[in-house]
Structure 1
Amino acid sequence: MKKIVAIVVALAVLSGAGYFFLKQPPKPQYKTLRIERGSILSAVSATGTLNAVVTVQVGTQVSGTLAKLYVDYNSPVKKGQPIAQIDPALLGAAVQQATGNVLSAEANLAKARVTLADAQRTLSRNKQLLEQGIVAQSDLDAAQTAYDAAQAGVSAAQASLVQTKGALKQAQTNLTYSTIRSPVDGIVVSRSVDVGQTVAASFQTPTLFTIAQDLTKMQIDTSVDESDISRVKVGQQATFSVDAYPDQQFAGTVVQIRNAPVVNQNVVTYVTVIAVDNRDLRLKPGMTANVSVQTQKKEGVLKLPSAALRFKPKLGKDEKPSAGQAPFTGAAAGSKQGPAAASSSRDAQKRPTQKVYILKGQQPEPVFVSTGISDGSFVELVSGSLKEGDEVVVEQVSTAKKSGMGPPMGPRF
C-alpha cells in the first residue's frame, strides 16, 4: 500500500511539474534584415488628371437654329476652318434692313445740305437788302435763324448716318458670326449640339465644341498635400501610370507649382502641373494618373530597412543607449574622411536621432542612428555605429510550443 501511495505522489509531482513547464511563455524570436549599400530615391506621390495643354471652348455669339455641322468628334481642324453654320436667313434680312436705313440717312443728309444752302443764300441776300434799306432787321434775323437751323439739321443728319452705318456693320458682323470657325489648330474632343437645335446667346455664350489644340503635348494637374509641397520643385522628373496601361510607366517634368491653395474638407493641397510628351497619342484627356515626383536621389548610401525604425520590442530589458557608440560618418567601406566627409558628419549631427535594435545574446539591444531620405522601404543611414552587413531587428515573432498534453489529471483508482 505504501508503494502505491508513493507512486501516486510521484506521478502527481511529475504531472504538476510538466503542467507548469508547459504553461511558461515561449521565448520571443526576432526577424532581422541586413543593412545594404545602394541607391535611394525619395519621391512624393499624388493623383491627377491628364488634360490638353490648351483647350478651347468654341461657342456662338448669335442666336439661331443650327443648320449645318462640318465636323464631329475627333475631327482635326485648322484655324479659321468652318465647323458649323447657323441659319443666316434672319441675319441676312437684318443686314438688308440696316442697308436701307443707311441709304435713307444718306438721303436725309443730302436734303439737309440743300436746306442749308438755301438758308445761306437767303441770309446773304437779306444782308445786302438791309444795307440798302429795303428790308427790316427782323427779316435778317429770321434768315439768320433759318440758316442756323439748317446747319443743325445737317449735323443731325450726319449723326443719323453714322448711327445707321454702325447698325449695318453690326448686322454684317452677326451674319459673319453665323458661320462658326475654329479659332486654333487642333482636334475636336467634344460636341454639344446637333443639326436643327436652337442655340440662344442672349445671356451667355453657349459652348458648342471643345477643341484640344495639340494632344501630342499634355499635362497632368496633380494635387500635392501641403506636407509634401516643400519638397516639390520646378524641373523635377516624375513618373506616372494610368489604368489603361497598368504595366507601363510614363515620364514627365514638373513645370508649375500654383500658389493658390485648394481646401477640401479641411485638407489643403496645391495644384502641381506636370508636362507630358504624348507623341504616340496613347494618352487621352481625362485619364487618371498616379504620379510619383522624384524629389531626391542618392547613390551608394547605406540602406536601413524602414521596418527597423517602426520596431519596438514587446519583451526585453530596459531600453537605454549603449555607451561608447561612435558616430557613423559614411566611411564603413574603409575610405578616409576628407573635408566633404567632415561636412557631412557635421550635418548629420544636426539630424534627430532614432532608435533601432540589434540582437545581442538573443535579446534586442537599442542603437541610436540618424537617418536621411527614404523611399518608403528603405531609409538612408547617415550616422550611427551600424555598418554595411549588420542585421537589425524588424519584427518580433513569438512561437508557441506545441504539445498534445492536456491539463494534469489525478490518478484513477
Structure 2
Amino acid sequence: MKKLFATLILLAAGAAWLLFSAGAEREYTFRTAALETGDIVAKVTATGRLGAVTVVEVGTQVSGTVKEIYADFNDTVKKGQLIALIDPDVLAARLEEARANLAVAMASVSRAKANLADSARNLKRSKELWSRNLIARSELDAAETVHAVNGASLQEAEARVLQVRASLNQAEANLGYTRIVSPEDGVIISREVNVGQTVAASLSTPTLFSIAKDLTDMQIETSVDEADIAGVKEGQEVEFTVDAHRGKVFRGRVRQVRISPGRTDNVVTYPVIISVANPDLELMPGMTANVSIITERREGVLKVPMAALRFSPPQTDAPENGASPFAPSMPRRRGGGRGGVNGGSGALSAVWTIKDGELGERVQFRAGIGDGAFVEAAAAKGLSEGDLLAISYSEKPRVSLWRRIFQ
C-alpha cells in the first residue's frame, strides 16, 4: 500500500509540473534566406565631376577695352578664328610712333656715317702733313680723336636702330594681340568679358574665354579613400550615373590613378581620372557623377547574404553544468563575435543553418569578395545552393499545458 501511495504522489507531481510549468523556456521563430548561386561584383563608390579632357583658357597679352565679341557660349570655333577684338587705336598709334622713331634712328646712322667719313679724310690729310713736319703732333692727335669719336657715334646710332626696330616689332605684335583668336578647334564653355569692359594684362594674363577641345571625349575626376585605393587599377571598368539622366547608367574606364594625396574631411584621398565617351553629347562639363569602379567580378559563386553573417543565435539561461540548449549544434565561439570573424575578403566567416525550422549547425567558410549585400563563399564545405541560413529571429515564452487546456 505504501509503495502504491508513493507512486501516486510521484505521478501527481509530474502532472502538476506539466500543467503548471510557467514557460521558463522560450520559443524562437527564425527568419531565413536561401543560399543562392550567382554573380558578385565588388565596387568602389565615389563622387566626381565631369569635365572636358582638354580645356584651353584664352587670355589677352595687351591691356585695353573690349571693342567687339564675335563668339559666345556653346559656339563651335575653329583654330585661328577671330572671337574678340580689343580696341586697337592706342596700339596703332604706338606702332606709328615706333615707325617714326625708326626713321629718326636711321637718319642718325646716316649722319654718323657722314661724320665718320669726313673725319677719316681729315685724319688722312693730317697724317700727310705731319709726315712732312707741316703740323704739330697735337694736331694729328686731335684728328685721330675726332675720328674715333665719330666711329663710336656710328656704333651708337646703329645700336639705337636695333633698339627702335625691336620696339617697332613689339608694337606690331601688340597690335596683332588685339585680335583674340581661338588656339584650337572646340566649343566655348565660358566667356568672362563683355563689350566695353577694360582688361589689364599684368603679371597674370586675364582669361577671356574657356574652350573645350572635344566634348565627345570627356573625363571624370574623383577622389578615392585611402582604404579603397589599393583595389583601383588603370583599365578597370566604371559605371556611373548623373542626376540629369536618372535611371541611365553610363560607362567608362579608369585612365589614371594619381599618387598625389589630398584630404577630404580629414580622410586621405587620391585622385582617380576616368575616361568617358560622349558621342551623343548627353554629358556636360560640371555634372556630378556617382561613380562605381568595378574592382573584381565573380560569376557563378555561392552568395551568402550579409545579414546571415551578422546573425547571432539566441542567448538562453544555461543549465547548472553550463551547457547551452544549443550546445549540440553550436560550437563554442571565441571573443563573443557574431557568427565568426568577418574581416573582409579571405577572412574566416560563419553562418547558422536552419533545419526544419530549428537552428542547425554553425558552418565556417572562407569569405571572398563582397558587394555590400552578399559575400562570396570561396571555400564552403557544408554549404550548398538552397540551404536556409538564419538572418534574424523573434522569441516568445513557451505556453504551459495548463494554459493551453483552459485558455
Distance 2:110 2:196 in 1: 46
8 A Cα contact 2:30 2:392, kept in partner: yes
Mapping for residues 247-266 of structure 1, pairs under 5 Å: 247-266=247-266
Change (3 A) 1:148 1:25: farther
Q: Does 1:357 align with 2:368?
A: no
Q: Does 1:396 align with 2:407?
A: no
Unaligned runs of 5+ in 1: 1-13, 323-349, 403-413
Mapping for residues 4-403 of structure 1, pairs under 5 Å: 21=22, 26-315=26-315, 317=324, 319-320=330-331, 351-359=346-354, 362-363=358-359, 365-385=361-381, 386-398=383-395
Give the superposition deviation at 1:363.
2.8
Among all aligned residue pairs of Structure 1 and Structure 2, give the percentage whose two residues are the same amino acid: 45
Distance 2:364 2:53 in 1: 50
Match for 2:115: what amino acid?
A: T
8 A Cα contact 1:321 1:367, kept in partner: no
- Under a length normalisation based on structure 1, what TM-score does the superposition of the two structures give? 0.82
Backbone CA RMSD of aligned residues: 2.1
Unaligned runs of 5+ in 2: 1-15, 317-323, 334-344, 400-407
Change (3 A) 1:378 1:132: same
Write out per-residue CA displacement over residues 31-85 of structure 1, whole angstroms, 9 at most, x where no aligned residue: 1112112221111111100000011111111111111010111110001100001
Distance 1:97 1:241 in 2: 60
8 A Cα contact 1:364 1:393, kept in partner: no
SS at match of 2:31: strand
8 A Cα contact 2:27 2:398, kept in partner: no
SS at match of 1:259: coil
Match for 1:93: what amino acid?
A: A
Query: How many positions carry a matched residue from both structures?
Result: 358
Distance 1:139 1:228 in 2: 94
SS at match of 2:295: strand
Distance 2:351 2:101 in 1: 92
8 A Cα contact 2:59 2:209, kept in partner: yes
8 A Cα contact 1:41 1:298, kept in partner: yes
8 A Cα contact 1:39 1:299, kept in partner: yes
8 A Cα contact 1:49 1:287, kept in partner: yes
- Following superposition, which runs of at least 4 residues in structure 1 exceed 3 angstroms of deviation? 316-319, 398-402
1:327 corresponds to = none
- Under a length normalisation based on structure 2, what TM-score does the superposition of the two structures give? 0.83
Distance 1:176 1:401 in 2: 96
Distance 1:184 1:87 in 2: 23
Give the superposition deviation at 1:150.
0.9
Distance 2:371 2:174 in 1: 61
Give the superposition deviation at 1:26.
4.4
